[in-house]
């Protein structure tokens, strides 16, 4: 398998342009060619990108096309995957459709602004949109309303509804909180106490042996904190001073302290004597429940070095290059469900980034329910959070389930992105030279990373497909590219001005969905 190559891409593009320029002259054009545009294809005839399999279920444009009218938007559309559905959004107005990936039926339609993509209690993706009455509406990937709220004090965090204090702000987050289920049932209420006035700013001098995270100088779990994530009956709280804690919110033992850890815990890689690092929850993932994780990386080893040195969507009919729009939900750290990579028995683990301004951040992976530290490793760049107490998923992160690889953007440093292996806690690879750093990863599926290559100077504008585990180039310069892919593996592939919907690559033969009519 090849690694990155710059010259062949430019050479191939140059040859293609030379041949095209010499083969097409005014004398060669048939009469009336400009008046008779080539019809849209209805059969897929390009080479399939890696990770896509089977025969297309349907095409979306032209004769026999099964796409909705929104696809005819004069300014084009954006298509994203939300769980097991496709979200189609107009570029000319606030208009959205959520379509079932398997059969294309409309699950939800709306004209309200979509604020962000979030997660439900089981880790499935949801849409968080403005409500019709000015509140908030949360829509599941099945099109059903998960929760609808009014006012600015309530927010949806990982499948639970959190009511904050009336005068809440990120600088003064203290006061009374209530946590409810989306249906209204009260799960837990508590008071987040302000730190003692003489506590001061916590520094990085964590006490030796403070592995439970109950460090001094403000690291008191009894003070509680701001809810920043929830999953499977566990609520994670951030106290704003470097302490992360997990509380049970199930039917029994609501509010029970399950575990806590501080950013200056000696068990974490890296370390600083300036101030205690603040936690940012990136997401929760399913990992094999057998021999999970590797050993904690020593500070001098967790420097961000790779494991080893390895060499808005355009409308079909105008441009066949990949979208340059911001990453869609598949460009987030949305957790997967069910079993772990390789279909092994799995347990849920939470990935946390510990940050201090202007110093390399540290990653740590914890068992969600017990808090067991599975590994920690230092990142190459400093990554201060842009929004304090923001819930996951982390904007710009990608998760490739088959290989258990998380791609994490780096805000500073020599590389803009690293790939982390969840099971072993290793930095598998990073973008190194200028050519690699110009790639914009957009989605991940079936062991591959799909990236927009237009920033590399590749005149073909084609998508680059990388092996998720080692960064080797699996495909480049194809005539088709993957526009979106769902959690189950359904994908939309653009080829020759047409969009085709494909089933999962591993769908049993004879069980693929027939095109609808």
Structural tokens at position 273: 């004597």
* Per-residue pLDDT tens over the stretch 490-510: 999 999 999 999 999 987 665
434 in helix, strand or coil? helix
CA 286 to chain centre: 15
Structural tokens at position 194: 């302000």
- Residue 216: φ, ψ to 5°: -80, -175
Spatial CB neighbours of 495, under 8 Å, sequence gap ≥ 6: 41, 44, 45, 46, 320, 479, 480, 481
Determine which of 13-22, 284-293, 463-472 has the lowest per-residue pLDDT on average. Answer: 13-22
Spatial CB neighbours of 330, under 8 Å, sequence gap ≥ 6: 80, 81, 398, 442, 443, 444, 445, 484, 485
Query: Is a pLDDT exceeding 50 seen at residue 192?
Result: yes
Query: Is a pLDDT exceeding 90 seen at residue 154?
Result: yes
Structural tokens at position 187: 């799960």
* Per-residue pLDDT tens over the stretch 47-105: 999 999 889 999 999 989 999 999 999 999 999 999 999 999 999 999 999 999 999 99
Q: DSSP states of 48-70 as a string?
A: PPTT--S--SEE-SSTT----GG
The H-or-E segment that residue 20 falls in is helix 7-23
Q: Which pLDDT belongs to residue 446? A: 96
Which of 441, 344, 462 is CA-nearest to residue 399? 441
Q: What average pLDDT does the segment 440-454 reach?
A: 92
Query: Is a pLDDT exceeding 80 seen at residue 295?
Result: no
Query: Is a pLDDT exceeding 50 seen at residue 258?
Result: yes
Query: Is a pLDDT exceeding 60 seen at residue 365?
Result: yes
The H-or-E segment that residue 502 falls in is strand 498-502
E strands present in 417-479: 417-421, 426-430, 440-445, 448-452, 463-467, 473-475
12 in helix, strand or coil? helix
Task: Give CA–CA dist 401/75, Å, rounded.
Answer: 34
Query: Is a pLDDT exceeding 70 seen at residue 312?
Result: no
Model-level pTM greater than 0.85? no
Q: DSSP states of 33-49 as a string?
A: GGGSPPPPPSS--SPPP
Specify the DSSP class assigned to residue 329: G
E strands present in 330-372: 346-356, 359-367
Which of 211, 184, 22, 84 is CA-nearest to residue 504? 84
Q: Which pLDDT belongs to residue 251? A: 81
- Residue 240: φ, ψ to 5°: 80, 0
Q: Which pLDDT belongs to residue 472? A: 95
Percent of the chain residues topping a pLDDT of 90: 63
Higher pLDDT, 164 or 322: 164
- Residue 323: φ, ψ to 5°: -65, 145
Query: Is a pLDDT exceeding 90 seen at residue 311?
Result: no
Structural tokens at position 315: 């409308």
226 in helix, strand or coil? strand
- Residue 271: φ, ψ to 5°: 120, 150
Structural tokens at position 457: 């100077």
Higher pLDDT, 390 or 331: 390
Which of 166, 363, 184, 156 is CA-nearest to residue 279? 363
* Per-residue pLDDT tens over the stretch 123-138: 999 999 998 777 899 9
Locus of tokens 């995957």? 81
Specify the DSSP class assigned to residue 206: P
Q: Which pLDDT belongs to residue 300? A: 35
* Per-residue pLDDT tens over the stretch 410-440: 999 899 999 999 999 999 999 998 889 889 9
Q: Which pLDDT belongs to residue 125? A: 96
Mean pLDDT over all residues of the chain?
81
Q: Which pLDDT belongs to residue 344? A: 65
Query: Is a pLDDT exceeding 50 seen at residue 515?
Result: no
E strands present in 151-277: 154-157, 160-163, 175-180, 186-192, 226-231, 234-238, 243-248, 257-262
* Per-residue pLDDT tens over the stretch 14-39: 333 333 333 444 444 445 455 567 88
Higher pLDDT, 280 or 201: 280
Q: Which pLDDT belongs to residue 364? A: 98
Q: Across the chain, how many H-helices and E-strands are there?
A: 2, 32
CA 463 to chain centre: 19
* Per-residue pLDDT tens over the stretch 468-485: 999 999 999 888 999 999
What Å distances lie between residue 413 and 49, 182, 304, 417, 493, CA to CA?
Answer: 32, 41, 10, 10, 34
């Amino acid at each position: 398998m090849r690694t990155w190559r710059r010259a062949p891409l430019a050479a191939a593009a140059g040859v293609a342009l030379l041949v095209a320029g010499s083969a097409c002259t005014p004398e060669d054009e048939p009469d009336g060619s400009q008046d008779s545009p080539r019809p849209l294809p209805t059969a897929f005839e390009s080479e399939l990108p890696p990770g896509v399999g089977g025969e297309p279920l349907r095409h979306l444009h032209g004769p026999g096309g099964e796409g909705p009218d929104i696809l005819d938007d004069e300014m084009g559309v954006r298509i994203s995957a939300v769980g097991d559905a496709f979200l189609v959004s107009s570029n000319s107005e606030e208009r959205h459709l959520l379509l079932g990936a398997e059969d294309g039926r409309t699950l939800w339609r709306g004209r309200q602004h979509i604020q962000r993509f979030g997660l439900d209690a089981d880790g499935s993706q949801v849409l968080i949109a403005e409500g019709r009455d000015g509140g908030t509406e949360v829509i599941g990937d099945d099109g059903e309303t998960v929760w609808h709220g009014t006012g600015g004090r309530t927010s949806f965090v990982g499948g639970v509804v959190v009511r904050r204090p009336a005068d809440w702000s990120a600088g003064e987050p203290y006061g009374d909180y209530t946590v409810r289920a989306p249906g209204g049932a009260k799960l837990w209420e508590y008071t987040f106490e302000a730190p003692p006035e003489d506590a001061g700013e916590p520094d990085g001098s964590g006490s030796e042996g403070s592995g439970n995270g109950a460090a001094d100088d403000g690291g008191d779990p009894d003070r509680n904190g701001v809810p920043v994530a929830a999953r499977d009956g566990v609520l994670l709280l951030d106290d704003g001073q470097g302490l992360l804690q997990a509380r049970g919110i199930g039917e029994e033992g609501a509010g029970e302290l399950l575990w806590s850890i501080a950013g200056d815990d000696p068990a974490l890689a890296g370390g600083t004597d300036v101030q205690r690092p603040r936690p940012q929850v990136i997401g929760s993932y399913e990992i094999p429940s057998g021999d999970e994780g590797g050993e904690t990386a020593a500070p001098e080893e967790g420097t961000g070095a790779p494991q080893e040195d390895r060499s808005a969507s355009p409308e079909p009919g105008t441009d066949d290059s990949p979208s340059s729009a911001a990453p869609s939900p598949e460009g987030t750290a949305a957790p997967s469900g069910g079993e772990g990579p390789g279909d092994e028995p799995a347990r849920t683990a939470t990935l946390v980034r510990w940050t201090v301004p202007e110093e390399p951040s540290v990653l740590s992976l914890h068992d969600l329910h017990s808090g067991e530290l599975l590994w920690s490793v230092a990142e190459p760049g400093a990554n201060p959070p842009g929004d304090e107490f923001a819930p996951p998923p982390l904007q710009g992160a990608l998760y490739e389930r088959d290989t258990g690889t998380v791609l994490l953007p780096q805000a500073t440093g020599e590389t803009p992105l690293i790939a982390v292996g969840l099971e072993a806690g290793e930095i598998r690879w990073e973008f190194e030279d200028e050519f690699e750093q110009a790639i914009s990863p957009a989605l991940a599926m079936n062991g591959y990373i799909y990236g927009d290559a237009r920033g590399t100077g590749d005149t073909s504008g084609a998508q680059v497909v990388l092996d998720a585990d080692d960064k080797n180039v699996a495909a480049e310069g194809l005539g088709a590219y993957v526009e979106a892919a769902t959690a189950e593996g359904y994908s939309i592939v653009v080829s020759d001005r047409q969009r085709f919907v494909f089933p999962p690559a591993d769908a049993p033969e004879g069980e693929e969905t027939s095109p609808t009519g």
